[in-house]
Amino acid sequence: MRDPGRKSLAQLENLCKQLYETTDTTTRLQAEKALVEFTNSPDCLSKCQLLLERGSDSVEYCIIGVTILSQLTNEINQADTTHPLTKHRKIASSFRDSSLFDIFTLSCNLLKQASGKNLNLNDESQHGLLMQLLKLTHNCLNFDFIGTSTDESSDDLCTVQIPTSWRSAFLDSSTLQLFFDLYHSIPPSFSPLVLSCLVQIASVRRSLFNNAERAKFLSHLVDGVKRILENPQSLSDPNNYHEFCRLLARLKSNYQLGELVKVENYPEVIRLIANFTVTSLQHWEFAPNSVHYLLSLWQRLAASVPYVKATEPHMLETYTPEVTKAYITSRLESVHIILRDGLEDPLEDTGLVQQQLDQLSTIGRCEYEKTCALLVQLFDQSAQSYQELLQSASASPMDIAVQEGRLTWLVYIIGAVIGGRVSFASTDEQDAMDGELVCRVLQLMNLTDSRLAQAGNEKLELAMLSFFEQFRKIYIGDQVQKSSKLYRRLSEVLGLNDETMVLSVFIGKIITNLKYWGRCEPITSKTLQLLNDLSIGYSSVRKLVKLSAVQFMLNNHTSEHFSFLGINNQSNLTDMRCRTTFYTALGRLLMVDLGEDEDQYEQFMLPLTAAFEAVAQMFSTNSFNEQEAKRTLVGLVRDLRGIAFAFNAKTSFMMLFEWIYPSYMPILQRAIELWYHDPACTTPVLKLMAELVHNRSQRLQFDVSSPNGILLFRETSKMITMYGNRILTLGEVPKDQVYALKLKGISICFSMLKAALSGSYVNFGVFRLYGDDALDNALQTFIKLLLSIPHSDLLDYPKLSQSYYSLLEVLTQDHMNFIASLEPRVIMYILSSISEGLTALDTMVCTGCCSCLDHIVTYLFKQLSRSTKKRTTPLNQESDRFLHIMQQHPEMIQQMLSTVLNIIIFEDCRNQWSMSRPLLGLILLNEKYFSDLRNSIVNSQPPEKQQAMHLCFENLMEGIERNLLTKNRDRFTQNLSAFRREVNDSMKNSTYGVNSNDMMS
């Protein structure tokens, strides 16, 4: 089919109708093909513009043109799986530079025309045109200008990286005014899109303006916000309200408090925003997801107070306490309504509650005296009512539940504001206020704990644990001033004279929770996490091990902890996940208490020894209870992994190693052999093995005459080989189960092999020297597993990505001879995975790929250098073969050279140093290709900038020699840093200044 752009408007309209309306698949595919050809044609934009201009008398055709442009902009902005990410970015960058601003300008002009006329929105066609124009404008402003593909979850941190060439549109105040005028002149059903555009405009990068320009732009923006707040009728629509809250949040995420206070109408605007926030918080049931943005605004404003240097008053001391009070009182007032009407309880969504509390923690510490006084007053009222109800025989369950709900919110909030102490320089008086609040919560805990045998409130207990966690962070540990007035208040009210006594309260609460809440997974897991966190600090651990309750746990852990955790034969395996956390904490405590006392260690391990012997006995019989064996092994393995993770010292870890090897290693191998298809069993076993081979803190140090390092690697190889060969027999696995059933286990195997290869406790040359195939088996299994994974899966699953690229980094560094010996298809697979990883959003993956590429390029360069010199020793077979493959496929290395250079020049390069290391080798291996690439980049610049760009490339190679010695590499890295700076300066419009004030205030 020929270019449909040459067809009449009626034909084009017909194609669009076929694409969007027909139910016939063949017709729709033909229409799609024709329109794709049209959008790919060089004169598509000009023809669309002609269509729009002609469409001023014919609205329907105008809608078609706008819809096509909107769809085109959106599709080019979306990366898909049909193109490599690098190719997609090239297409998107070309579209951005050649067409996007023209489309945006056209869209704004048409909106101005529309707003200048009295639109008849009862006319469906005019209604549709306005909607499509707003969508087109939003798509332009929402374009991924620099290829960062920002995750929408980081919405509140987003900056719109508008190109410098768009400056004129944003310096012209009529652009901003257009959208505020539209908001007030069109019905509420259109307003959310207008506000979405304003959100993006408010988020334009700061460096687009100089200081004076930015102040003027902000002034217009604040005036527009003020006008909306003065006429808030449309905000009763939830979508308008949500977008407006986002707009308010952007005022502080993109501008400094010092800039805001200088705006002419600031006092009136901050009053209006405060009133709007208070009203919003009081109507807690309306658009609850929007509250995040309002709290985000006030959190950032409050956090900026210590840093603002402007002389103009910020007035936050007046309005921040009002916001704090509105949040606290509205949450308390909601409790009765929720219980009375059976509404959804916000406390059920602990993630959302924690997010809001994190924001409130900063807001509440601003003018903390008022916050504390309010909390004391409200807490005392609720606590007194609660106590009276408990003592009354006629108290209704509803009244008790209401007070427990109010106290739950108060305990959460008290924990949050105590945690907010880190946001401000605290005074003795504020520490004393913290003490007042802590005393009240601990007194309430004593009351609720005394009732647990009869009744307990899960939500209140979770709030208590949240409070304990915040209290621990601020007031327990090595850095805390023990003369704090908080401790003085605890001593006066509760008789807790020092940190040791406070720690005994923590441990008492932990044991109480394990005793009474063992079957409640959320409370159990958070309780054990608290124990685990307490076991990390050096000074607190030394105090903990002296407590009688801790000694009791160390001496009675297995028999007692089963009843603590509520685990019995009927429990399912997921209940046992708490065991790893429990034993990690116990292991840390034991390690401090243990020293080199092997008798005490053996006493501690006695129950675990008995459990292992029981499993061994089961495996030795022909028929055994498989479920019982699984349950006992899985729980035991989780316990051991916790201990192994905790034992960071050589002495204690060697005790564990000698206990498990060789006696119990065959049991782990047997479990993998039997249950390879069941991740509930294999995952804990593989994770334990990965932990045992991890030389954390240099704990794996064997004597010179010890073969244990080699023997441990043999066991590692055996497990990887056994699991790998068996997991590959699963065949086709459904996509939604592939990670759980297959990729998770493979990922752990990759991590295990990486830890073993990089642990520095095995001389790997020994294996080949003595004909031991352990190393070769492990590496060959790695290749089999790798080839069973599509490239897309390598990058789609973050844990798999990190374990694979970390392992590959070690292999390319220390085992390049193995890589070089692989078949061509395998080498190309690995190189392709590196190429794709270079553009990954995960910085760890991207950095790992740079390192892998550097090792490969360095190896290639060395081998080529050797092959061109007269040597008595020829290249070995692997090196010769690898060179041959690379010479047959130069496009792979050239593609990576192009990718790295493009990222450095045109994108927001997050790891410039890492990118620089392989780049020099890539250039030296491909000097002709680099020259062509350089000329292409230079020629793509406007004529007046080509000389400057050419000079940038000349300076890049200034003083660089043809070698990869460290001194030469470092020189190149320095040159590259200057090169990137010069290129950016060259591509900027030099008619304005760029200011980069820090965003602290």
b or e along 354-370 (b: 16 or more beta carbons within 10 Å of the residue's beta carbon)?
Answer: eebbebbbbbbbbbbeb
| pLDDT reported for residue 617 | 87
H/E run at residue 166: none
CA-to-CA distance for 413 and 511, rounded, in angstroms? 24
| pLDDT reported for residue 300 | 94
Secondary structure of residue 204 in the 3-state scheme? strand
Q: How far is CA 469 from CA 266, 368, 419, 528, 532, in A?
A: 39, 20, 9, 11, 11
Long-range contacts from 333-340, C-beta under 8 angstroms, 24+ separation: 334/284, 334/285, 335/402, 335/405, 335/406, 335/409, 336/402, 336/405, 338/405, 339/398, 339/401, 339/402, 339/405, 340/398
| pLDDT reported for residue 412 | 98
Beta bridge partners, 937, equal none
* The 3-state secondary structure of 320-385, one letter per residue: HHHHHHHHHHHHHHHHHHHHHHCCCCHHHCHHHHHHHHHHHHHHHHCCHHHHHHHHHHHHHHHHHH
pLDDT tens-digit readout, 705-757: 889 999 999 999 999 999 999 999 988 888 889 999 999 999 999 999 999 99
pLDDT tens-digit readout, 266-281: 999 999 999 999 999 9
CA-to-CA distance for 181 and 827, rounded, in angstroms? 60
Q: Report the alpha-carbon angle 179-181-182, nearest 5.
A: 65
- Residue written as token pair 């690229």: 805
Between the two ends of the chain, the Cα-to-Cα distance in Å is 60
CA-to-CA distance for 689 and 664, rounded, in angstroms? 12
| pLDDT reported for residue 770 | 92
Beta bridge partners, 204, equal 160
DSSP 8-state code for residue 421? G
pLDDT tens-digit readout, 175-198: 999 999 999 988 888 899 999 999
CA-to-CA distance for 535 and 593, rounded, in angstroms? 12
Q: What is the CA radius of gyration of the chain?
A: 33
Secondary structure of residue 405 in the 3-state scheme? helix
Q: How far is CA 561 from CA 225, 593, 885, in A?
A: 59, 19, 59
| pLDDT reported for residue 671 | 92
Are the C-beta atoms of 143 and 77 separated by less than 8 Å? yes
Cα diameter, the chain: 102
Secondary structure of residue 35 in the 3-state scheme? helix
Secondary structure of residue 579 in the 3-state scheme? helix
DSSP 8-state code for residue 7? S
Beta bridge partners, 160, equal 204
| pLDDT reported for residue 659 | 92
Provide, for the chain, the percentages of residues in helix, strand and coil under a 3-state DSSP scheme, each rounded to the nearest 5. Answer: 75, 0, 25
Q: How far is CA 118 from CA 60, 114, 121, 126, 185, in A?
A: 18, 8, 9, 11, 10
- Residue written as token pair 């004169």: 43
Are the C-beta atoms of 335 and 402 separated by less than 8 Å? yes
Q: How far is CA 415 from CA 59, 930, 932, in A?
A: 59, 59, 62
| pLDDT reported for residue 565 | 47
Read off the amino acid at residue 338: I
Residues sharing a CB contact under 8 Å with residue 830, sequence separation 6 or more, in sequence order:
786, 808, 819, 822
Helix (DSSP H) and strand (DSSP E) numbers for the chain: 49, 0
Are the C-beta atoms of 250 and 993 separated by less than 8 Å? no
> In terms of Cα–Cα distance, which of 90, 78, 88, 6 is closest to 42?
6
Are the C-beta atoms of 935 and 962 separated by less than 8 Å? no
To the nearest 10°, report the CA torsion of 684, 687, 691, 694: 170
To the nearest 10°, report the CA torsion of 744, 746, 751, 755: 150
Residues belonging to the chain: 1001
Pull the structure tokens for residue 837: 């990883």
Pull the structure tokens for residue 964: 């990869």
Residues sharing a CB contact under 8 Å with residue 578, sequence separation 6 or more, in sequence order:
521, 524, 525, 528, 565
Low-confidence ranges of the chain (pLDDT < 70): 1-10, 12-13, 20, 39-57, 80-86, 116-125, 148-157, 478-483, 558-576, 596, 869-875, 908, 987-1001
Pull the structure tokens for residue 503: 């720690």
Are the C-beta atoms of 732 and 764 separated by less than 8 Å? no
> In terms of Cα–Cα distance, which of 535, 656, 531, 534 is closest to 602?
656
Are the C-beta atoms of 709 and 762 separated by less than 8 Å? yes
> In terms of Cα–Cα distance, which of 481, 483, 533, 540 is closest to 510?
533
Pull the structure tokens for residue 695: 């030389």
